Amino acid sequence: MPQVSLTVNGKPHSVEVEGRTLLVELLREKLRLTGTHVGCDTSQCGACVVHVDGESVKSCTMLAVQAEGADVTTIEGLASADGTLHPMQEAFREYHALQCGFCTPGMVMSAIDLVMKHPEGLDEKQIREGLEGNLCRCTGYHNIVKAIAAAAEVMHGRRTELAQAAE
C-alpha cells in the first residue's frame, strides 16, 4: 500500500493509503478531521474544499497520494491556538453567512483563497463569480457575499473591525 507523507494544519503525518484513496477520505477517515465535508462527491458543490500548498482544491477530486509532500490546511487549521477565529470565520459569524452550515467549511476555504488572490480588493460581482465552485442551498448567498467583502477588508488591513466594512 502506498504511504503518503504530508503536513496537515502544521502537523506532519505519514499515512498508509490505497492508490484510490481520495484526499478527503484521508482527512476525514484517517486523520478524523471531519470539518471538511463531502456533499456531491462529483467536484461540483465545494463542501470539500481545502488548501493544498495555499491553493483551494476540491479534496474529493484529488488523490491522497497526489498530496505527497504537500502542506494542507483544513477548516480546523484556521483558528488560532487560543481559539481566536480567522477573520473569514469571524465574518461568517458576524454576517450570519450560514444556515445549516454544511457548505460553510468549503465556503470559508474558497473565500480565503479568493481574497488572498485579490489583494487589490474585490467587488460583489467578483465575489459571486469566485464562488462558482461552491453551492449553498440555504442562504441565497447574500450574507456569504457580505461576509467575504467584510473579511477581505480586514485580511488586507484596510479595516480592523468587521462592522465598519458592512454596508
CA 1 to chain centre: 29
Enumerate the β-bridge partners of residue 137: none
Which single residue is written with the C-alpha cell 484521508? 26
Q: In angstroms, what is the C-alpha Rg of the chain?
A: 16
* Nearest distance, CB of residue 157 and another protein, angstroms: 23
Rounded Cα–Cα distance for residues 157 and 37 (Å): 30
Q: Is 34 exposed, middle or buried (0-12, 13-18, 19+ CB in 10 A)?
A: middle
Site for another protein in 57-76 (CB under 8 A): 57-58, 61-63, 65-66, 68
Question: Measured from the CB atom, is 155 or 162 closer to another protein?
Answer: 155
113 binds another protein (CB under 8 A): yes
Minimum distance, C-beta of residue 49 to another protein, in the bound complex (Å): 6
Q: Is 80 in the site for another protein (CB under 8 A)?
A: no
When asked if residue 110 is in the footprint of another protein (CB under 8 A), the reply is: yes
Q: Does residue number 3 form part of the binding site for another protein (CB under 8 A)?
A: no
Nearest approach in angstroms of CB 14 to another protein is: 16
Region 11-30 residues binding another protein, contact defined as CB under 8 A:
18-20, 22
Q: Interior CA angle at 87 toward 60 and 145, to 5°?
A: 70
